[in-house]
A and B are shown apart, each in its own frame.
Chain A
Amino acid sequence: KAGVTQTPRYLIKTRGQQVTLSCSPISGHRSVSWYQQTPGQGLQFLFEYFSETQRNKGNFPGRFSGRQFSNSRSEMNVSTLELGDSALYLCASSLGLGGTGELFFGEGSRLTVL
């Protein structure tokens, strides 16, 4: 079955702009989580969505937001981009309830802010 799909894979923005990233989870998975990966900080949890509701949020400013649609697809948005937002943004899906709980990651969207 198809894995987690993230689009776009690469993008370049300038400071002050906003960006929207998309994630399609594995079919049947209802939980989608987002992570930011940077060389200095490793993987840091942004937020998790389940059944269109945000269940958990990491320690990121309000410029980072997300949503989940009824088909479990998710988007995350970053407004007023800063240079420090340059990172690999990873989406992960899981069943959400039951199952073994492992997260399945997409290949990521690499954002460069100039």
Chain B
Amino acid sequence: DQQVKQNSPSLSVQEGRISILNCDYTNSMFDYFLWYKKYPAEGPTFLISISSIKDKNEDGRFTVFLNKSAKHLSLHIVPSQPGDSAVYFCAASLGRGLNYGGSQGNLIFGKGTKLSVKP
């Protein structure tokens, strides 16, 4: 049973437009969410995160929105650039909270969405 779902395996966007990647989760106890980007032949790299006490976090062109009632989060990339073409993974964590006393290494990942940004 998948606890973190990325229902779109792929997404194609024109350069300069907005990319919206979506992620749904089932466990309401998740308290921390992260997005990772992965290029071929490389490990995932951290992009942006959000705590469950917030509904929005922004970092440059990247914004993550969290809707706890819908158990849904999304990553917005504006404007999209060809270098953004990669696989994007949504991940969720239990027990991380604000005290970091719990396990940090156990992230539950979605299966990824492959983003292609066309010039």
What residues make up the interface of A, taking CB atoms closer than 8 Å to B? Answer: 4, 31-33, 35, 41-45, 48-50, 55-56, 58, 90, 92, 94-108
Contacts and interface: CB of A to CB of B under 8 A. Distances in A.
Interface stretch (B10-18, B21-29, B102-110): B102-110
Contacts of B93: 101
Contacts of B32: 101
A45 to B, nearest CB: 5
Contact of A42 (B34, B45, B89): B89
Given A42-B110, A102-B46, A48 B103 contact: yes
Contact of A98 (B49, B91, B100, B111): B100
Contacts, number: 75
B101 interface: yes
Contact of A45 (B34, B46, B108): B108
A96 B104 contact: yes
B110 A94 contact: no
Which are the 7 A-B pairs with shortest beta-carbon distances?
A33-B105, A48-B105, A105-B43, A42-B111, A43-B109, A102-B46, A56-B103
User: What size tier do the contact residues of chain B reach?
Assistant: 20 to 34
10 contacts: A32-B105, A42-B110, A48-B104, A97-B101, A101-B49, A101-B104, A103-B105, A104-B46, A106-B43, A107-B43
B96 interface: yes
Interface in B57-114: 89, 91, 93, 96, 100-101, 103-112
